[in-house]
Amino acid sequence: MTALVGQDFLTLADISPEDLQGLLTLAAQLKSGAVQADCSRKVLGLLFRKASTRTRVSFSVAMVQLGGQVLDLQVNLIQVSRGEPICDTARVLSGYLDALAIRTYDQSELEEFAQYADIPIINALTDQSHPCQILADLLTVQECLGQLAGTTLAYLGDGNNMAHSLMLGCALAGVNIRVATPADYAPDVTVVKQAQALAGDRCQIQVTTDPKAAVAGANILYTDVWASMGQEDFAESRIPIFQPYQVNSDLLALAEKEAIVLHCLPAHRGEEITEAVIEGPQSQVWQQAENRMHAQKALLASLLGGVTAGVK
């Protein structure tokens, strides 16, 4: 995994299919204990402008388990909250930290940090992309189904950062993906084209407004909240628009018999997913959530050069 040492991780388009499979292999081996990694004396900074449970805790625990330390840079307590330019903050933090995970609104802020920082900048979520979540998702699919290439994932709901990153991740992994959204909530066309170009002949990237067509014969059903952070004022008005895209028993019945159900969480039960499905036997949501830690441990070890035994 030396190819990723010192790199930024802003979007899945930053890595190759081989890099992705290497990260997933390393994550599985770190999870099982087959491979060891050491990031002692390394410090990861967390700069989060958005609320977080899984991302904050999983990054923190992953870094501690690698032997490193975590510094939580509370935005309201540092000078960026008072208007210090990002270019200044990025260069200063580069002198203190070994990597910086940023959770913010605009992808451009992340890119500006990466431009001026001399340490790896990690996308811990933006409005455009959530690549770390996809590492955990694909690890979960690999564990549950035994393979990635040739499987089909149906994503139902808003064409948001999760839809964008899933398309890119599936393109790299050879997973067919069907994204079903209401007509006015489709994913960014530029990202769709980027994913299709990355996919090549490996798999198909499709966008539709028909949830039943998307789910038919799929191996994985995936959903996310209908109103992301910052869109709470529109949550109620979106419910009737998105209701046909709810992951429920009727839609699940159209999928492949042994299909698994994923959700990046937090979930609004009774909206994008029903209680019966998220708590049902086909739900792998909790394994998926745990895998955030294992996938990010692999990412940190790779970016910081902490792998102490070869990936087998």
Catalytic position from the list 49, 56, 178, 292: 292
The terminus-to-terminus CA distance of the chain in angstroms comes to 11
Residue of 8, 39, 264, 294 marked catalytic:
264
**Catalytic residue chosen out of the listed positions 21, 29, 128, 133:** 133
Helix (H, G, I), strand (E, B) or coil at 179: strand
Let me know if 130 is a catalytic residue: yes
User: Does the annotation mark 292 as catalytic?
Assistant: yes
Q: Which of 54, 103, 263, 294 is catalytic?
A: 103
Tell me if residue 132 is catalytic.
no
The structure tokens 């501690």 sit at 64
Nearest to 244 by CA among 172, 159, 180: 180
| DSSP 8-state class, residue 273 | B
By the 8 A CB rule, do 192 and 168 touch?
A: no
Give whole-number Cα distances, 120 to 21, 25, 180, 227, in Å: 20, 21, 34, 30
- Whether 288 sits among the annotated catalytic residues: the reply is no
Beta strands 99-103; 152-156: pairing state:
unpaired
Active-site option among 170, 224, 284, 296 = 224
Which of 49, 54, 56, 130 is catalytic? The answer is 130
Question: Would you please indicate which residues are annotated as catalytic (active-site) residues?
Answer: 103, 130, 133, 224, 264, 292
